[in-house]
Amino acid sequence: MLDTLKKHALRVLNVCLIAAVALLVIDVLLGVASRYLWGAQIKWTEELAGVLLIWVSYLGIAAAFEARAHLGIDILTNRFAAGMKLKMAFFIHFVTLAFTLIVFEIGGVKLVMQALHHWNVLPALQVSDVVQYLPLPVSGLFILLFEVCNLREDLKHD
């Protein structure tokens, strides 16, 4: 069941990443084109690019965890001898899970709740600034799922 959930989550993540990157490229091209064609950039393109960049960055972090391609963690585990490498890998799994749960989920949900409470609006887009904070808990859910699956795989190979 966990593998099926991971497979579907990865599909959703990839579709979201593809859509966000495509929209980001179109948005930036539109902003640049408007600057050259009309002498002034369309106001909302810069703000949208910032929001999309946040989404792409956080969702990209989750994709890196699924692919086990997080550079800092790989470098850390590869520096140890074989016996210690396995212990270090498990330690890193648990630290990653704790960090993701505390920072991404608890902290991210608090940020989203504060943004909902204060209801600030992004001036050019005229949407709530919740869109800037929502990637944190969303990507955190993906990271938690992928990290649990990675931990389970490592336990099977142990």
What does the pLDDT read at residue 158?
Answer: 64
What does the pLDDT read at residue 144?
Answer: 97
What does the pLDDT read at residue 84?
Answer: 85
pTM recorded for the entire structure: 0.90
What does the pLDDT read at residue 134?
Answer: 97
Structure tokens at 141: 């859910």
The angle formed by the CA atoms of residues 122, 108 and 93, to the nearest 5 degrees, is: 140
Write the CA distances from 113 to 30, 101, 105, 107, 123, integer angstroms.
33, 16, 12, 10, 20
Structure tokens at 57: 């960055």
Tell me the Cα Rg of the chain.
19
How far is Cα 66 from Cα 60, in angstroms, rounded to an integer? 10
pLDDT digits (tens), the chain, 158 positions: 899 999 999 999 999 999 999 999 999 999 999 999 999 999 999 999 999 999 999 999 999 999 988 766 767 777 788 778 888 888 889 999 999 999 999 999 999 999 999 999 999 999 999 999 999 999 999 999 999 999 999 888 76
How far is Cα 25 from Cα 19, in angstroms, rounded to an integer? 10
What does the pLDDT read at residue 97?
Answer: 96
Instruction: Find, among 112, 131, 126, the residue nearest to 50 by Cα.
Output: 131
Exposure pattern of 63-90 as b/e (b: 16+ CB <10 Å)? bebbeeebeebeeebeeeeeeeeeebbe
Q: Report helix, strand or coil for 16.
A: helix
How far is Cα 30 from Cα 24, in angstroms, rounded to an integer? 10
What does the pLDDT read at residue 17?
Answer: 98
Give strand pairing partners of 121: 128
